[in-house]
Structures are given as C-alpha cells and as structure tokens.
Amino acid sequence: MRPVAFLIAAGAFFVAALTAAPAHAQLSENGGPVSYSADNLEYFDGERRLVLTGDVDIVQNDARLRADRITMFFSQSGGGQSAGQGGLGSGDIERMIAEGEVYYVRPAQSARGNRAVYEVAQDAVTFTGNVVVASDENVIRGETLVLQIGNRRTTIRPTPGQRVRGVFVPRDNPQGGSGN
C-alpha cells in the first residue's frame, strides 16, 4: 500500500470507527449495541459523567476499545419535557476520554496510545503518547495522532526533537522499485 493510500486508509478507519452520523459517538461503523465491562463504574448525575475504571473493555460489533480508564460525558437527552430527566448514561456522548494503555482494534486495523480524546462537537479524535497506528503490515509511530473526521485529515506528529517513523509494505510490487 502506498504511503498516501495508507494515511487515507488510517483516516477512513477512524472515521468509520468513531462516527456513524454527526453527534453520535460510535465505535463500529455499523453502530449497534455497546457492551462494556470494567472493575468499577461511577456515575456523576449532576455532571452527566460516567467513569469506568480497571481493565475497561468496550465492544460494539467488530470494534473494541480497551483502556485503564474511560470517562464519558453526556449531553442532555433530547425530546421535549423529558430532556432534563436523564439517568445513568442517557443522552448522546459529547466527549470520551480513554487513558492508560489505550487500544482500539478492528479487523486488520489498530491504534495504540497512552490517551485518546474524542470530541463530538469538533468531530475530532486525538491519540497522544507513544502512538502506533497499524493496518495490515503497515505501521506508523509518533507522539500525537489527530484525526479531523469531517474533512478526513489525519496528522501524526513526532515527539519534539524526533521524527515520525513508519513502515509501508507494498502489495503490488514485490520486486521493489520507485513507486511514488
């Protein structure tokens, strides 16, 4: 896969993974029920904040998000008079923060970092800290991955004083050559 094609594939992978429609956070492009497990759950009703800690594992269809801690911030529920009556995790997710050995995995694609923040309003996800993005045999490493979902722009930045590193494995040209 050519470098440009890999970056587009990495971007598309996150786009499909995190959004099925604007203002609705999704792990899987097909949506569906989200199951989770964690050692602890704490919900702060006044703040509309759900905190899962300890070996957190969230699964939706073929997508899995794992981290030491995941915090979700919810908007007010829509729908007229019941809008102010929320419960545990009701409303749409506005922001999600995953911390501590964050892994996001889908078939043939994965991302890893120390922290990931998904902001629905900005339509962006940012992975920070020892970021590794892999698709098939292709790998990119850096300190920060920023994906602006709506405009399909992916940026990978290195640690200051370092360089972004990557490996691309061509599929179509086993003889080598200078395919740009």
- Segments in the chain below pLDDT 70: 1-31, 77-91, 149-150, 173-180
Look at residue 88 in the predicted model and tell me its pLDDT.
Answer: 60
Digit-coded pLDDT (tens) for 28-81? 666 678 788 999 999 998 899 999 999 999 998 888 889 999 999 988 755 433
CB neighbour class for 176 (10 Å; exposed up to 12, middle 13-18, buried from 19): exposed
* Model confidence, pTM: 0.72
Give residue 52's pLDDT: 96
Per-position DSSP letters for the chain, written without gaps between them = --HHHHHHHHHHHHHHHHEEETTEE-SSTT----EEE-SEEEEEGGGTEEEEEEEEEEEETTEEEEEEEEEEEEPPPPSGGGGG---TT-S-EEEEEEEEEEEEEETTEEEEEEEEEEETTTTEEEEEEEEEEEETTEEEEEEEEEEETTTTEEEEEPPTTS--EEE---SS-TT-----
Non-local (6+) Cβ contacts of 141 within 8 A are 130, 131, 132, 133, 164, 165, 166
**For position 4, what pLDDT does the model report?**
38
